[in-house]
Homo-oligomer: A and B are copies of this chain.
Amino acid sequence: MVEPTARKHIVVVGAGFGGMAAVQALKTLDADVTLIDRTNHHLFQPLLYQVATAALSPADIATATRSLLRRNRNTTVLMSEVDSIDPDRREVRRADGPNLFYDYLVLATGSAYSFFGHDEWAENTQVLKNLNDALSIRERVLDAYEWAEECGDPALVERLLTFVIVGGGPTGVELAGTIAELARSTLRGDFKSIDPRSTRVVLCEAGDRLLPAFPERLSAYAVPALESLGVEVRLGQAVKEIDGEGLVVGETRIVTPNILWCAGTAAQPAASWLGAEAARNGALKVLPDCSVPGRPEIFAIGDVTSFESGSSSPLPGLAPVAKQQGKYVGRVIKARIAGKRAPGPFRYRNLGTMAIIGRSRAVADFGGFTLTGFPAWLAWSLVHLMLLVDFRSRLTVYVNWSWAWFTYGRGARLLTGRPGSARHQPQSNPAE
């Protein structure tokens, strides 16, 4: 602290996998690091669907960011909302506090879902991006059964027990499989006037196969695996219309209040903050060192970017990409501050990708080597347990998984009266 004015200030926006990796890579740097996030926690997004389907609690997959970073003596954590960025003045403007000057800026703001130009569809669908979304889905799913049990109206029961998932990527596949299992196993004997096994789960994908980022063999495995769980898979059927009563998929109208949207990607507003060139989905285009063209002091990593190296397609929106980019950018910044030669261009090291389909079934792709079924599920479970950031989460997730595996139960079947339930929507009973 001899020359406080010479001390560099690095601002990182977003406490997801990318932002956290960048902050950790900067841990030993003699500089000030500020991490800004809208929430107070780092979320382990790959398990978010398990919160949405009542298998895990929010605290099992989310940890207070400042508690994770308490040993990073150079780091300040702010729970705050970025409003805009002034790249000429090098200032981050916040809605709720003073502006922050930066020497280096790392944008790791992630992505949202895109409605392909139909933003009005957002109103009648539920996405799954953060803990609130997950709790809203949980509320919606559990309350559908409670309401069906007591309403005494077969047509309403049919609507309530229909779930449509749009988007055949990993999240869509995981949600469809888990909701089907919840209905057929967990809830099975718990109701008197309805049979949860009559639940209809529809998974729609506009493309011609599920899990398009995986090898074809695994896509082909996923369809019968989901069908054996009772999921109705509709390939090559795009959504044409969504309204308060339901949706039109291909040529079919499905009447339901339960539409879960897991399709498309829109990068969070970093490109518009900078007035920078964006790819089709709003993602920031970056140079091979993850910096924004013309702004060597601004880096963008993870889902907010569209990273293209040479002829290959853009990198997928996966946690390992964000993590590796965060670590890489930390190294670049350290080298620049130290006046050393920066590392070569970022290269993604693909360690494999996995998606879970249901109890004891998954697909995994490790480059040329693929796994399906129980071995893939075992690999998935072990990898995800290990990746959880703290020991306490690992234990509670392990306990909950073991319990669920042996009993088919779900530990977090709670309705606390949050918004999200179909009962609170316009078509609901006015007395609720």
- Measured CB to CB, the residues of A under 8 A from B are 39-41, 57-60, 62-64, 66-67, 70, 76-81, 83, 95-98, 130-132, 135, 142-143, 146-147, 149-152, 189-193, 391-393, 395-396, 399-400, 403, 409, 411-417, 429, 431-432
Contact = CB atoms under 8 A, between A and B. Distances in A.
A132 B409 contact: no
A152 B97 contact: yes
A400 B392 contact: yes
Contacts of A135: 416
Contacts of A142: 40, 64
B58 A60 contact: no
A60 B411 CA distance: 8
27 contacts: A39-B416, A40-B143, A40-B146, A41-B413, A57-B57, A57-B60, A58-B416, A59-B412, A62-B414, A64-B142, A64-B413, A67-B190, A70-B190, A76-B192, A77-B190, A79-B146, A79-B147, A81-B431, A83-B431, A95-B429, A96-B431, A97-B150, A97-B151, A392-B409, A392-B411, A396-B400, A396-B411
Contacts of A190: 64, 66-67, 70, 77
How many copies, total?
Answer: 2
Contacts of A417: 39, 132
A267 to B, nearest CB: 21
Given A76-B192, A432-B95, A67 B413 contact: yes
B432 A59 contact: no
A180 to B, nearest CB: 19
A409 B70 CA distance: 12
Nearest to A71: B189
Nearest to A76: B192
Contacts of A416: 39, 58, 130-132, 135
Contacts of A57: 57-60, 412
Contacts of A413: 40-41, 59, 63-64, 67
A78 to B, nearest CB: 5
A62 B66 CA distance: 28
A40 B415 contact: yes
A368 to B, nearest CB: 40
